[in-house]
Chains A and B, each alone.
Chain A
Amino acid sequence: MTKKYETEAPGYTMTTVMEEAARCLLCHDAPCSKACPADTDPARFIRSVRFNNVKGAAETIRENNALGAICARVCPTEKYCELACSRTGIDCPIDIGGIQRYVTDFEQAAKMDILKQGKSNGHHIAIVGSGPAGLQVATTMLTKGYAVDIYEKNEKAGGYLTYGIPEYRLPNDIVEYEIKRIVNLGANVHYNTTVGEDIMMADLKANNDAVVVAVGASESKVLPMFADNANVETAVGFLARVKEAKGNITDLPENAVVIGGGDVAMDVATTLRRLDVKNVTDMAYEEFDEFRASKKELKGTREAGVTIVDGYVPTAVNGNEVTFKHRHIDSEMTIKSNKIILAIGQRVNAANLGITINKNEEVPYAGYGTADAKVFVTGDIAQGDKTVVWAVRKGKEVAEQIDKMVMGETPAADLVGGNE
């Protein structure tokens, strides 16, 4: 029953990955590498594959990106590396994500241990949140010789990697493998520990050279009209539940309405279909020419048999009956459904963390500093794209900044956050 939910699309074989790598033009000053937010250097690792050096390819990926096996699967490559690919001038871009997946699968099969913990430098940092951003900060700092403690509110690490992105796109085994490697590097993870409740920022500051807040936007937004409605569930709540149960949930509806037009909405709608919910309708605020979900996700959702209606906003709710109006044309529709799932965005909960979050669910200034010279932000709550690969980039960047500060190369005052 859950097979369609649990099964990832097949990857390349040794032969087919070479065929794909052979399409690569091995460009000079490769545009794909310049377009990767995390500097994973696709041109370099594809070249290694091309010259039969898969282990070398794995080293390139891993040294640049602590979550290489995850990015391989979930990066919206159409917006980054593959958008820039020169091969587009002939036909279609190189399947960079697919090649990266082959290489990181090989890395895992060959039990390669590429990253090594740096020699202890006697400094300590604390990280609040174990999502992709926190994990990357931990990796970079561990390789530099810092002692790293991660405080995580949940029972498992990974943030939305563990509790959000569905199994068929990102198998939990892969997430666990990536996290295990970071734990083996020396990260000390404190589970079920909410900073601001179970332990206070003041304690972390007192015991560490720096504290990095990487709490992401872990709560769902809810429109007031849907509050306290038994038929309503939030997208991230639903996805977390399904992923934890490996798809074995017992209260599946016969039909469902999903509200939202981003990747999260696509994940919810596709998950429902893969769990054999018969009629799934997605009502999106955006029209298709301004759609937020990636093309890949939109395609997958359509192939899963979801009905997507674009340009509608909910205007009234009555129990399990929702009325929608089109944003531009005079059109109204009412849908009755025993399940309404809201995928209208996530919000940050920064209670007692001493940082300011604006209505875009991020700090109100660019960069990673805060008003407190010892406290930094990164991941989704820092400005920039809100994707895994950007979380990796932001994690690497903040780690470099903190290292410079601790080593005395940058005056701490320079890192204090902009005008709030």
Chain B
Amino acid sequence: MPDLGLSVLLKGKNMARLLGGLWVALRISLIAVAISLPLGILLGVLMAGKNRVVKAILRVYLEFIRIMPQMVLLFLGFFGTTRAFGWNISAELAAIIVFTLWGTAEMSDLVRGAIISIPRHQYESSQALGLNKRQTYFYIILPQAARRLIPLSINLITRMIKTTSLVLMIGVVEVLKVAQQIIEANRMTSPNAAFGLYLTVFVLYFLACWPISLLARYLEKKWR
């Protein structure tokens, strides 16, 4: 059997360090997700609404975030703000802010799509029953949109978790960075450690995202 370099994991506190790195990545993405989802819902409702000015502004915001590679956003959010405004925020906070901006934009577009996919007669039969606009949204449109949103937003959440691997570029020591450090430190003794460690990182990301996918499938079935 080839040496996969897994033995390095058992040395010292290596495994604990990797898990600590994973926690950093998850913390960033989970905080960003927790803020993005409600904010995205709010903006998505506005984007599906009638106010042209609000819609135009949100459209620009969405397109801007979409066009920018996430890496550029991270550089802009961390190094850019330090230079331009003299802000001295930690890399992790910068990452959370950037991921929140990104997640909110993507979420709002998903919400907008889900809302406008609800057929017009759903609004009309609700109004015909005497429900006002707010009640129609609250009891008829949003619950149906939510059901359509579940698989899409779960997909977004896993994408956000995966993309956190980029934050090592602005100096956040997350799981990938820890893996690199361990590989670096053991280059002489176990030259094969790279494969084993990246494999472990792969498994860790998988374990983090898999339950979320399962939950999505469960909810999809339950709410069909």
| A and B bind | no
